Structure 1
């Protein structure tokens, strides 16, 4: 088998693409792709919003597979998003190697703010 060398994109299901675009672009501040309005860039990874219903697939939000969105300061980023109306699930966690704050997008997909402060071992 050829070696897997990177993650090309992550598909995020939505029931309302325009609402999702607003959330990911305006609320989270992700860079929208110049050619494809339903795609956003996080570093070299593309986040692609899609509507399962348009492919005849029932909608179901992504659960328990949190997209870990790197920020330099989780508490500060959390405060900024809370000021924009984002509701977080529980308190910010410290695992001993990273800080995490969990929330959902408007479609119920699991997301987290994440910062690994300890070196990878």
Structure 2
């Protein structure tokens, strides 16, 4: 098999309108102008889908975090906390990057991320 890219990331939801509002309005991600339930993180398309509508069982995505790249994790975290977003513990410093973990309204794992060490 030969692959040529990552077409999109599927975000499971129990309420696509609520999820769209969270990702577009709360997080400020760029909506797709052609598909209501798609939004963009940089050059990666994310598509919200409701598994229950197609005969599948909803389950939140855990431990496969969307790592949202930001310039300043502390500032971005404070901005989201002011909007009512609860974070899962303290901001983590790996010695290479800062990470702060939280979840969307459906319980999907998300992360604010900033790499501060140069790539070698």
TM over 0.5: yes
Deviation at 1:8, TM superposition (A): 1.9
Matched with 2:71 is 72
Matched with 1:83 is 82
**Structure 1: runs of 5 or more not aligned:** none
Please give the alpha-carbon distance, in whole angstroms, between the structure 1 residues aligned to 2:78 and 2:105.
18
Structure having the higher strand fraction is 1
- Partner of 2:52, secondary structure, is helix
Deviation at 1:42, TM superposition (A): 1.1
Matched with 2:31 is 32
Deviation at 1:119, TM superposition (A): 1.7
So what's the TM-score if we normalise by structure 1? 0.96
Please give the alpha-carbon distance, in whole angstroms, between the structure 1 residues aligned to 2:4 and 2:86.
35
So what's the TM-score if we normalise by structure 2? 0.96
RMSD: 0.9
- Partner of 2:119, secondary structure, is coil
Deviation at 1:44, TM superposition (A): 1.1
Matched with 1:43 is 42
Matched with 1:112 is 111
